[in-house]
Structure 1
Amino acid sequence: MLKERIEEVTQMNELFYRGFEQLDIALMDSIWAHQEYVTCIHPGWSIRVGWPAVRDSWVVIFNNTFSMKFELTEVQVQVAADIAWVICTENITSRVGENEQNSQVVSTNLFERI
């Protein structure tokens, strides 16, 4: 059972990054809980709380990014009841206009089964 839950969370995490790479707000809409308690902290941004604020942050990012690719390393998946979390290092290649940028970010993604 635990192995199956870890696989389920791994697939959801991959779907999240697919939506991110494809700059796909509809896919993000399908992944995120549309609740007041959802929270997102983008590097260098202030905290966003509540689905409308979180969604708006993704729209801003997607509208200002030409492309984004992720290579995840040091991935750790943990599951406890209906909550799971993925800790990983995001190795990011992004393009804004003509400029390509490489960066590395440590990320924690929380998932809730609802």
Structure 2
Amino acid sequence: MNVDTVDVETVNQAFYTAIEEADIDKMHEIWATDSENLQVSCVHPGWPMLIGRSEVMRSWALLMANTPYIQFVLTDVRTAVFGDVAVLTCAENILTAGDAGESSFAAGKVVASNTFIRTAEGWRLWLHHSSPVMQAEDGEAG
């Protein structure tokens, strides 16, 4: 594993930690800044594509404000670096809690592609695209 791969995976982990900790300031640091040639984009499961930093940041603020608890266990992490662009794919194994005051938990699996771009400040998230994985019913083949 080369230095770039380690650096990308470190930023990727910081991204998920920011979600878990509802740290919008950290989220702002992780995402790239829009420019004439580059607009960040994000696809949350079941959402339309969000384009532009302000729209993406607004979505994270809404999700964080309305999620009492979330935890990610990442598996199947694969990272490839192509010059100043890196692509990381993974499975997000997610545990969430019900609304405040409830003691219910739900688990789910989402696959994600995170594309990073190297900037003067280091690797920054350019595109996050996540999609739910259909879970087999009991007795069905997966």
Secondary structure of the 1:113 match is: strand
Indicate whether 1:108 and 2:113 are aligned. yes
Q: Which has the higher helix share?
A: 1
* Structure number with bigger Rg: 2
**How do 1:35-46 residues align onto structure 2 when only pairs under 5 Å count?**
35=34, 37-46=39-48
**How do 1:1-114 residues align onto structure 2 when only pairs under 5 Å count?**
3-35=2-34, 37-97=39-99, 98=102, 99-114=104-119
TM-score, normalised with respect to structure 2: 0.76
Task: In structure 2, list runs of 5 or more residues that go unmatched.
Answer: 120-142
Task: In structure 1, list runs of 5 or more residues that go unmatched.
Answer: none
- Runs of 4 or more off by more than 6 Å in structure 1? none
TM-score, normalised with respect to structure 1: 0.95
Structure 2: distance between partners of 1:32 and 1:53: 12
Provide the alpha-carbon RMSD of the alignment: 1.1
Secondary structure of the 1:33 match is: coil
